[in-house]
Structure formats: structure tokens, C-alpha cells
């Protein structure tokens, strides 16, 4: 078995919440699942993808992958949960993947500053030129269509109105998670569960990602959720947590943007120079032919 | 309402909510209700010939602003619970109903398309269903786990939702919440919403309806619907 994931950054093994869910689940179970970093897709399929070497089959989506690990390798986190807890796991997982994931996508792709300073550099590291620009535009259109389909029938609906609804939903979800957590170590008691893997994956990315958004501001106000995220981050990804510094990432994003601007300017000057040389050369050639004609 | 099964669930939920509040209402069938709506959701309610409210979620906020709420007796934890399960029903169950009505070819061609275009002249009868279908496809593809839109995901997804709802109703079979002091059932907005959608699914006459089979194996869900009609004064919306 091998888990195909996107590359990591911001002190985390991956920058995709669904890949991080599976990795966190395996860490919490103490299961060492081999991972392979891909550029964003595996054979055209969106990651995470779990490939099974013996049968050649593959599985997508975190829930399907976790279900396989439970059935095949008995890697189980939720044995101690009551019926009510299992029901809440399904409902809360659905809520946070709908609201928080949508809000994260909106923050990264529909905000111009975040798009230029965070999303584009991320995709430039993942994909080669010019594919990175095409993939980034594809993602931007996907997020735009998603929020319009969910919140409005009108293709020309005001995006600010839609974003307000998105962030209101995500704020309510964060409040519910904070209320559920209370003073406990984990969301459903003192032992981690599948719900914690899902919650940590989304909350850690919201907290660590340098993108500025209302979602991040709402989460910063919930102290117990922030402590919970840091606790799990330190416990299950200690090396990455120790080596991560937010200012280094922001500087890296800024310097990467400046490098690309410099490269574009150099390419433009080079093109202008070639054009001038060509024009000067062809005039010289015409003058020489004119002289020979005499 | 255009008579489409997917929207019938929300209409039933709204009727139940209004009945619980003791509010009188009349029903008018309009072909252009989708365009009267302020946010694309329907049914549309018009209060005092002035206020236009579209969909269940907007109705909840409108009623709570006017002081009509069923969940004021709930604690903070119970209100969080209610919002979580409301999100499960409205963002998952409802979307699956839309998928069943619009993206399963047998249902679309035999029931949904004739109902949607019953009073629409050509070429609108060809163009409008195309846009609606595209919107439903985008809505489903936008769910983080369903981006590969296919019929294979509908049954496992419905089973997991049905199991979650059934497990939750194991403690309180007739409503989601009970009064902590008196022990009596407390009917909340969540009960109305769930009853509306379950009623629409169980009463549906779509030829290919795997959701009905997946939900029907949980007797607690059927008992819940019967309780809502028999014990809580709701007008009979189904034949159990």
C-alpha cells in the first residue's frame, strides 16, 4: 500500500486537508503508512489516493481509505465510542468538511492577495510552467462555481454576499467544535478518534497557512481550539512542528514572488533586445544589398 | 413548487414548521417560483403581502427575528447538536435527493423533466432543464468527497447518513430532544426538517430510488415519522 499525497509546507506533511486527515489518522493509530509525494494528481485522480500494489486497485477520499484500513488491517480508533458518539462523528465530519473546507478554498482562491502570495507560489512548486498557471486557474474556477452553485442560482451574484454566508457558516462550525471540545484533551474524550483526525487536518491548515482571512481570525479567538491543534501537532508531527517558523514561510512566499517578477522583467528586456537586434540587422542587410546593387 | 420530489421535502418541512408555530398558511402553485425566489431556494413564502422569504434556512432566521422559535428550551450543547444535524440533513440528504431527481437518467427522463417543463414552451423547455442539471452537477461535484459524481456514491453515503440519524434517535425515538426537567418531547426545527425530507423520500414515486431502500431498513426513522404525525399534531403528509 502507498498513499499518494501533495507536498508539505507550513510545518505540516501535506498542504491538502484530505491527505492530512489520512496521515493524522494513521499517526494516531501508530500505523506507518508509506507515502509518495505527487504533483497534485495521481494518474489524473485527485489525491489522496491509496494504491494497493498487490491488486493494482486504488481508493480515493479519506473516508474510503480509512474504511479500508479498518477492515483490512484492523486499524481502528473508534472502538471505545458509544452509538451516540459515532453518530456525532458522522454529523460533525460532514459539517466541518462542508463548511471549513469551503471557507478555506474561498480564502485561498477568491481573495486576490492570498491568490498571489500563497496559492500561486504553492502551485508553482507543485507543477511545472506553464501547467501551474492552467491548474491554478482551473482551481479558481472550481471554487467559484462551487460557491455559486451552493449559495446562488445567479452566475452574476455578488461574491461578497456569498462569501459572508460562507464565513458565517464556518464561524458557527468553529464555535460548535470549540463547544464540543471544552476542556477535554480530544473532541470525544481523552482518547483520539477519527473525528479528531478530520478536525485537526482542517484546523491545523487554517492556523498554519499564511493566507489572511476572516476564517483565520475567527479561529484565533477560540483559545481551546488553538491549544488543541498545537497539542496534536506537537505530539504527532514533532520534527515538523519544531522546524516550522511562520515568518520564514512568509518571507519565502515574498521572495519567491519577487524572483518571478524579476525573471519576467528579464525575459521582457531580453525579448526587446532580440527585437531591436533583429531590426538593426535587417536594416544593415538591406543597406548592404542596396550598395551591391549600385 | 414544480412538483419535483427534491423540493417537495423542503416544502413539507416548512409546512410542519408553520403548523408547529400555529401559523395559518395557504398554498399556491406557481410555475415561476424559481424566479420569484430571492436566493434560488423554494418554496417561497410571502408574509403580509410584503416580506418574501425563500427556503427553510431563511424562514428560520425570519421567524426567529419575529420571536417564533421552537428551540429556546434547549441548552447550548443541544443547540450545537441541533445545528450539526441540521447541516447533515440540509447539506447531504437534500443534495442526494437532488442527485436522484436530476442526475439519474431514468428518474430525470420519466418524472423530473416532464414535471419541470410541464407549462414551458420550446425552446425554454430544452434550455432551462440543461442549466438546472448543470447547477445540480456543480453542487454535487463541489462536495469535497463527491467530486467524482457517480451513482456508486449514493448508496454508501445514504447508508452512513441513515445510520447516523438512527443511532442518534436510539435515545429519543420520537424527537431529537427532550425537556431535561419534565422529560417530555421537544419538537424543534430539526424534527420538522428531517420529517419533511424523510416524508418526501418515503412517499416518492421515482422509478429508481435507492435512497428509499437505504433509509427504509432503519425502523427508527419510520417510527420517528409516525410519531411526528400521531403524537405532535402534524397534519398527515404521508400514508404510512
3-state secondary structure A172-216: HHHHHHHHHHCCCCECCECCCCHHHHHHHHHHHHHHHCCCCCHHH
Does B81 reach chain A within 8 Å, measured CB to CB? yes
Q: How far apart are the first and last CA of chain B?
A: 24
Span of A98-102, A129-133, B11-15, B16-20 with lowest mean pLDDT: A129-133
Q: C-alpha dihedral over A93, A95, A96, A99, to 10 degrees?
A: 160
In this structure, chain A runs to a length of 294
At B47 the three-state DSSP class reads strand
Predicted pLDDT at A72? 81
Q: What is the pLDDT of residue A276?
A: 83
Q: How many CB pairs (< 8 A) connect A and B?
A: 86
Distances (CA, A) of A242 to A54, A98, A233, A238, B208: 37, 31, 10, 6, 55
| Residue B83 touches chain A, beta carbons under 8 Å | yes
Peptide bond into A226 cis (omega under 30): no
Instruction: Report the alpha-carbon distance of residue A121 to residue A256 in Å, rounded.
Output: 7
Which residues in chain B touch residue A146, judged by CB atoms under 8 angstroms apart?
138, 141-142
Are the beta carbons of A84 and B85 separated by less than 8 Å? no
A205-260 residue pLDDT tens: 999 998 889 999 999 999 999 999 999 999 999 988 887 765 544 445 455 556 66
Strands A2-5 and A35-37: parallel
Residues of chain B contacting residue A152, judged by C-beta atoms under 8 Å apart: 39-40
B47 bridge partner residues: B51
Shortest Cα distance from A34 to chain B (angstroms)? 22
- Contacts A98 to B, Cβ<8 Å: 87, 91, 143-144
| Closest CB from B39, B84, B145 relative to A176 | B84
- Which three-class secondary structure string do you get for chain A? CEEEECCCECCECCCCHHHHHHHHHHHHHCCCCCEEECCCEECCEECCEEECCCCCCEEECHHHHHHHHHHHHCCCCCCCCCHHHHHHHHHHHHHHHHHHHHHHHHHHHCCHHHHHHHHHHHHHHHCCCCHHHHHHHHHHHHHHHHHHHHHCCCCCCCHHHHHHHHHHHHHHHHHHHHHHHCCCCECCECCCCHHHHHHHHHHHHHHHCCCCCHHHHHHHCCHHHHHHHHHHHHHHCHHHHHHCCHHHHHHHHHHHHHHHHHHHHHHHHHHHHHHHHHHHHHHHHHHHHHHHHC
Rounded to an integer, the average pLDDT of A143-152 is 78
Residue pair B235/B184 in contact (Cβ under 8 Å)? The answer is: no
CB contact under 8 A, A95 and B161: no
B230 to chain A, any CB pair closer than 8 A? The answer is no
At B227, which helix (H) or strand (E)?
helix B219-230
- pLDDT for B8 equals 81
Alpha-carbon span A245 to B37, nearest angstrom: 49
Residue A75 cell numbers, joined: 486499524
Query: A87 and chain B: CB distance < 8 Å anywhere?
Result: yes
How far apart CA B117 and CA B123 sit, in angstroms, is 10
Residues 6+ apart with CB under 8 A from A11: A208, A233, A237, A240, A241, A243, A244
- Chain centroid to Cα A127, Å, comes to 14
Query: Of the candidates B52, B132, B139, B129, which has an alpha carbon nearest to the alpha carbon of residue B91?
Result: B139
Per-residue pLDDT of chain B (240 residues; tens, 9 = 90+): 344 566 788 888 888 888 888 888 888 877 777 777 777 777 888 787 788 888 888 888 889 888 888 888 889 999 999 999 999 998 888 888 888 888 888 888 988 888 888 878 889 888 988 988 888 887 777 665 665 666 677 788 889 999 999 999 987 778 888 887 888 888 899 999 999 999 888 888 888 778 888 888 899 999 998 888 887 666 555 544
Strands A45-46 and A49-51: unpaired
Q: How far apart are CA A20 and CA B164, in angstroms?
A: 24
Of the candidates B64, B32, B55, the one whose C-alpha atom is nearest the C-alpha of residue B193 is: B55
Most confident of A34-38, A137-141, A195-199, B211-215: A195-199
User: Which one-letter DSSP state was computed for residue B236?
Assistant: P
| Region label for A74, one of left (φ > 0), alpha (ψ between -120 and 50) or beta (otherwise) | left
Tell me what pLDDT residue A202 has. Answer: 95
Q: Do B163 and A87 touch (CB under 8 A)?
A: yes
The confidence score (pLDDT) of residue A260 equals 63
Distance from the Cα of B44 to chain A's closest Cα (Å) equals 15
Strands A58-60 and B44-47: unpaired
ipTM reported for the complex, 2 dp: 0.87
What pLDDT is attached to residue A126? 78
Please state the rounded mean pLDDT for residues A79-95: 91
With a CB-CB cutoff of 8 Å, which residues 26-45 of chain B face chain A?
34, 37, 39-40
For B20: left if phi > 0, alpha if psi spans -120 to 50, otherwise beta; the answer is: alpha
Chain mean pLDDT for chain A: 84
Please indicate whether, in this complex, the C-beta atoms of B165 and A62 are within 8 angstroms of each other.
no
Residues of B in contact with A94 (CB under 8 A): 87-88, 91-92, 161
Amino acid at each position: 500500500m502507498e498513499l499518494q499525497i501533495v507536498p508539505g509546507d507550513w510545518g505540516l506533511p501535506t498542504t491538502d486537508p484530505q491527505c492530512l486527515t489520512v496521515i493524522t489518522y494513521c499517526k494516531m493509530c501508530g500505523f506507518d503508512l508509506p507515502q509518495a509525494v505527487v504533483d497534485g494528481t495521481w494518474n489524473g485522480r485527485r489525491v489522496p489516493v491509496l494504491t494497493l500494489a498487490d491488486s493494482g486497485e486504488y481508493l480515493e477520499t479519506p473516508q474510503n481509505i480509512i474504511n479500508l484500513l479498518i477492515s483490512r488491517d484492523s486499524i481502528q480508533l473508534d472502538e471505545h465510542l458509544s452509538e451516540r458518539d459515532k453518530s456525532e462523528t458522522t454529523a460533525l465530519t460532514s459539517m466541518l468538511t462542508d463548511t471549513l473546507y469551503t471557507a478555506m478554498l474561498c480564502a485561498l482562491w477568491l481573495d486576490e492577495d492570498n491568490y498571489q502570495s500563497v496559492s500561486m507560489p504553492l502551485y508553482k512548486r507543485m507543477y511545472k510552467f506553464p501547467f501551474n498557471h492552467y491548474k491554478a486557474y482551473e482551481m479558481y474556477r472550481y471554487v467559484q462555481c462551487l460557491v455559486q452553485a451552493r449559495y446562488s442560482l445567479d452566475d452574476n451574484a455578488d461574491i461578497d454576499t456569498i462569501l459572508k454566508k460562507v464565513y458565517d457558516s464556518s464561524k458557527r462550525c468553529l464555535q460548535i467544535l470549540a463547544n464540543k471540545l471544552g476542556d477535554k484533551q480530544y473532541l470525544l474524550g481523552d482518547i483520539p478518534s477519527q473525528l479528531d483526525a478530520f478536525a485537526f487536518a482542517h484546523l491545523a491548515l487554517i492556523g498554519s497557512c499564511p493566507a489572511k482571512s476572516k476564517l483565520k481570525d475567527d479561529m484565533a479567538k477560540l483559545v481551546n481550539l488553538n491549544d488543541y491543534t498545537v497539542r496534536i501537532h506537537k505530539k504527532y508531527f514533532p520534527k515538523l512542528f519544531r522546524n516550522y517558523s511562520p515568518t520564514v514561510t512568509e518571507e519565502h512566499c515574498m521572495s519567491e514572488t519577487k524572483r518571478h517578477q524579476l525573471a519576467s522583467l528579464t525575459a521582457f528586456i531580453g525579448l526587446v533586445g532580440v527585437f531591436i537586434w533583429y531590426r538593426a540587422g535587417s536594416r544593415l542587410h538591406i543597406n548592404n544589398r542596396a550598395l551591391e546593387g549600385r | 413548487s414544480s412538483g419535483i420530489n427534491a423540493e417537495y421535502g423542503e416544502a413539507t418541512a416548512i409546512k410542519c414548521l408553520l403548523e408547529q408555530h400555529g401559523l395559518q398558511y395557504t398554498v399556491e402553485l406557481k410555475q415561476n417560483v424559481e424566479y420569484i425566489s430571492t436566493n434560488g431556494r423554494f418554496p417561497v413564502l410571502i408574509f403580509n403581502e410584503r416580506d418574501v422569504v425563500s427556503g427553510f434556512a431563511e424562514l428560520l432566521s425570519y421567524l426567529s427575528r419575529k420571536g417564533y422559535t421552537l428551540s429556546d428550551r434547549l441548552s447550548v450543547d443541544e443547540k450545537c447538536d441541533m445545528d450539526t444535524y441540521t447541516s447533515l440533513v440540509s447539506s447531504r440528504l437534500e443534495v442526494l435527493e437532488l442527485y436522484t431527481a436530476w442526475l439519474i437518467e431514468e428518474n430525470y427522463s420519466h418524472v423530473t423533466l416532464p414535471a419541470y417543463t410541464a407549462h414551458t414552451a420550446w425552446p425554454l423547455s430544452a434550455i432551462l432543464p440543461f442549466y438546472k442539471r448543470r447547477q445540480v452537477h456543480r453542487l454535487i461535484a463541489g462536495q469535497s468527497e463527491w467530486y467524482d459524481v457517480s451513482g456508486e456514491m449514493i448508496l454508501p453515503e445514504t447508508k452512513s447518513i441513515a445510520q447516523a440519524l438512527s443511532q442518534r434517535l436510539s435515545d429519543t425515538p420520537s424527537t431529537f430532544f427532550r425537556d431535561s426537567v419534565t422529560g417530555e418531547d421537544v419538537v424543534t426545527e430539526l424534527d420538522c426538517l428531517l420529517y419533511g425530507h424523510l416524508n418526501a423520500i418515503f412517499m416518492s414515486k421515482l422509478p429508481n430510488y435507492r435512497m428509499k431502500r437505504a433509509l427504509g431498513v432503519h425502523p427508527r426513522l419510520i417510527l420517528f415519522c409516525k410519531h411526528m404525525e400521531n403524537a405532535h399534531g402534524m397534519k398527515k403528509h404521508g400514508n404510512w
